[in-house]
C-alpha cells in the first residue's frame, strides 16, 4: 500500500539553526501539505502546495518557513532560524483529491 514517508523521525537542533524536514508523498498525488502538532495541542494546518506553488498558508507560516518540491518525488519544509516554540511534531500529507494521507511525522526538538 502506498504511503507518505517522512525523514528524519526525530530532529534535534539548536535555536537559530536551519532545519529541513523531508517528505516523499504518494507518487500519483497532486496536493501536498504540512501540519504541525505542538505537544498537547491540536494538529494545525501550515501550508498547502499544488502545481509547484503555495496555494494556501496559515498565519503560523511566516517568513521563517518555506516549502519546496526540488524534484519529482520529494517535498520539503525548511525553517530558516529555529525558535524554541518551533518544537513540535511536523506531519506531511498528500492527496489526489479530498482525502489526505499522512506520514508518521518528524519530531523537531529545538534546544
Residues that bind other proteins (CB under 8 A): 4, 6, 30-31, 33, 35, 41-45, 48, 50-51, 53, 55-56, 91, 93, 95, 98-105
DSSP-based three-state secondary structure for 84? helix
- Kindly tell me which of 15 and 54 has the beta carbon lying closer to other proteins: 54
- Kindly tell me which of 87 and 95 has the beta carbon lying closer to other proteins: 95
- Kindly tell me which of 13 and 104 has the beta carbon lying closer to other proteins: 104
Report, in Å, the least distance between residue 7 CB and other proteins: 13
Report, in Å, the least distance between residue 79 CB and other proteins: 20
- Kindly tell me which of 86 and 105 has the beta carbon lying closer to other proteins: 105
Gyration radius of the chain's alpha carbons = 13
Report, in Å, the least distance between residue 81 CB and other proteins: 26
CB 74 within 8 Å of CB 22 = yes
CB 66 within 8 Å of CB 49 = no
Cα dihedral value 103, 104, 106, 107, nearest 10: 150
CA-nearest of 22, 40, 49 to 106 is 22
Report, in Å, the least distance between residue 67 CB and other proteins: 13
DSSP-based three-state secondary structure for 37? strand
Amino acid at each position: 500500500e502506498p504511503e507518505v514517508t517522512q525523514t528524519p523521525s526525530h530532529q534535534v537542533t539548536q535555536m537559530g539553526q536551519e532545519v529541513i524536514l523531508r517528505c516523499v508523498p504518494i507518487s500519483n498525488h497532486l496536493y501536498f501539505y504540512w501540519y504541525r502538532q505542538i505537544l498537547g495541542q491540536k494538529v494545525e494546518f501550515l501550508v498547502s502546495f499544488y502545481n509547484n506553488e503555495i496555494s494556501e498558508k496559515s498565519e503560523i507560516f511566516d517568513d521563517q518557513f518555506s516549502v519546496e518540491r526540488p524534484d519529482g518525488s520529494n517535498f520539503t519544509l525548511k525553517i530558516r532560524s529555529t525558535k524554541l516554540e518551533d518544537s513540535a511534531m511536523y506531519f506531511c500529507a498528500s492527496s489526489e483529491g479530498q482525502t489526505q494521507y499522512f506520514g508518521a511525522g518528524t519530531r523537531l526538538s529545538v534546544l
